[in-house]
Chains A and B, each alone.
Chain A
Amino acid sequence: MRFSIYRYNPEADKKPYMQDYDLDTTANNCYMVLDALLAIKNTMDDTLTLRRSCREGVCGSDGMNINGKNGLACTTHLSTLQEPIVIRPLPGLPVLRDLVVDMKQFYQQYEKVKPYLQNSDPAPAKERLQSPEERAKLDGLYECILCACCTSSCPSFWWNPEKFVGPAGLLQAYRFVADSRDTATNERLADLTDPFSLFRCRGIMNCVDVCPKGLNPTKAINQLKELMLEEAV
């Protein structure tokens, strides 16, 4: 199979370029994009740089742009792709080297939504209980692995990465707003009422299209807007 891979080493290259590799995927036992990338790195070109860890869609390290669509290399089947397979780093984030991007802006936005439980009530002796129904509200929200596929596919984030929280951060904002044990709902909503943090979302649903975990950040964003409206009027 032919692969066309984005290469850029800021210490050696003036400009990024695309490099082609022809890999015998059958001989190398490759099923997923990550298998092929590692085979290229191990057998053809050990300068190829990428992030990966769990290789089974849990850690979120190997988010990249595969044939124009963001996804995890480890969960994308080679058989679903047309040749040449074009691999680029996640768009909209600064490239450190080859397929490795600087995730600082992504994490800063994540940090902004205070992604941890806040509860001003005194802690009970054992634990804060939830009914099964209350717990069920967190399904589809807590599963995010922070791979940045959604946020880096969002034009609103591309144009305003320092102001727009992005789908991944907003999904987590709603995850804690929806949590019956969290008492900071009003503060969380108040932090998002400016024109950029939440409302720069125009609902184009690129995030839903690319999420490797099948989550729906647009729905969470709309629920945040609805809650704000209920609080406000």
Chain B
Amino acid sequence: MIETDILIIGAGPTGLFTVFEAGLLRMRCHIIDALPQIGGQLSELYPKKPIFDIPGFPSIQAAELIENLYEQIRQFQPGFTLNEQAVELNKLEENLFEVITDKGTVHRAKAVVIAGGLGSFEPKKPPLENIAAYEDKGVNYFVKRPEDYRGKRVVIAGGGDSALDWTIHLAEIASSLTLIHRRSEFRGALDSVEKVTALKHEGKINLVTPAEVIGLQGNDEGYLTALTITKEEVAEILETDYFIPLFGLVPKLGAIANWGLEIEKNAIRVNNASDYSTNIPGIYAVGDINTYPYKMKLILCGFHETSIVCQSIYQRLNPNRKFILKYTTVSGVDGFDGSRKEAEKQVVASIE
């Protein structure tokens, strides 16, 4: 069981910055995210795109903002449960909450901050009749452990960045790799398109376009053994061990909707007149996942919201203490790892 002061659901920019604000008030954090990496939408959807409305940064690349945020919070030693989705949230006592993931990992904390963005990203599934029967029996929508594909026959379908990137990665590992797409054009970073083109010319991958997977076949144990594909209206059977459809992700609010929180317009209603608390005391929602009058889904608004949330949690957990506001320039920043950042001291000296 993982125990901490504040449990954060969502490792996007707002969730990450929560660790910093909590750390200034000497509260420790642990973050859960359904994706295998931190950064939320910024890492998953647009890592290479610039953002122009982060105060003080005329332009910053999304991936760079996430790297900077991680560097900023590292001192406060946040814990991470990645690649797991928070599915259950229980209030055990006034200041004790339990969050359980889809893999069964149990977390306990004194307060919960939901920074879940648009919810968790779920894969778009191709409309093939019996595909659900082969999920985790040859059909995978994510590549979680590339090593699982060593020496196996793999078919990837899709025409975007992730189809290209995994083709490049798994071409080295799989015994054979086939990339199927409905058109001959692919959509991705120039570098990825060039690498896949090279792999094709070197004969390291089998590129089948314009083509589509229209059926799946399995063995008696229920495992996938072959795909039916059509290319220019001619159907053929392609034997394979794995089929990885990569048609993008769609966000779903998912389990969060069942936690007894007040939901409005696919978002969690919070009290913006005070501290962004939800209808359950001790549970807060910040960033894109909350809503209130005049809500703007901007990263900078999430940063503001979560700084107030941390103050509110501090007050809840320490009811007899005064409101504490720290200016980092004055107080410096003391990490839980023993490191200290501080402004350079002035000197008082006579000049002769």
Q: Do A and B come from one complex?
A: no
